[in-house]
Structure 1
């Protein structure tokens, strides 16, 4: 994680330089503000990764003599099947269509989004796939 932290901090330095250069040359406030916000986000992510790297064990990506196979292994649990993302996608699409065609469409899309979100969060707390 040290490598990723350093990469984001160097990216932040680059974005800061570009923001200053862009602001001086263009005198356009929206783009300059966006670049300064991107600088701030890069600093936050880089600081978090560098701060976390001090508290965790050294990973394979932090060693010079590491092989690609050293980082292999189980990455975590991924759900093999779930219908909840489809519900969220339909609700989200209807919500964005509500912005185009009328805000009344949000009354129909928000319950679909909430049902999909609730189902996805509590998917493994009930039924045959119960884990907890």
Structure 2
């Protein structure tokens, strides 16, 4: 993870330089704002990867002498069945449709998004300290 964190930090520096150059050269606020937001996202991802790399063991991608087979194995737990992403997708689609059709549609999409997000976060924490 260390190398990915460094890559995002270097990418963030590049995006920052390009945002300044683009802003001075074009004087166009929408693209300049988008580039500064992309800089912020790169910094956040780079910080997260660098922060996490200090707390976990070195992976195969951090070893310069590693083979491809060294990275094989279990990568983590992924929920085999979950209906929560469907609720989030329908709520998100209705929210974006509400921008085009009418803002009143957000009254129907906000509960779907909240239920889907809450259900997804607490999917395996039902009951008293119980996992499924």
| TM-score bracket, shorter-length normalisation | 0.7 to 0.9
- Which residue of structure 2 lines up, in the alignment, with residue 8 of structure 1? 8
Q: Residue 26 of structure 1 corresponds to which residue in structure 2?
A: 26
Secondary structure of the corresponding residue to residue 124 of structure 2: helix
Question: What's the TM-score once normalised by structure 1's chain length?
Answer: 0.75
Q: What is residue 97 of structure 2 aligned with on the other side? A: 97
Aligned to 2:84: 84
What do the CA deviations read for 1:62-108 (whole angstroms, capped 9, x no partner)? 11110111111112222222223222222222222222222222333
Partner of 1:71: 71
1:75 alignment partner, SS class? coil
Unaligned runs of at least 5 residues, structure 2: none
Say whether residues 1:119 and 2:124 are aligned partners: no
**Partners of 1:121 and 1:40 in 2: how far apart?**
25
Structure 1 residues not aligned, in runs of 5+ = none
Provide the rounded CA distance (Å) in 2 between the counterparts of 1:51 and 1:123: 26
For the residues of structure 2 that align with 1:52 and 1:76, how far apart are their CA atoms? 15
Larger radius of gyration: 1
Aligned length: 130
Deviation at 1:11, TM superposition (A): 1.1
1:35 equivalenced with 2:42 (yes/no): no
**Match of residue 109 from structure 1:** 109
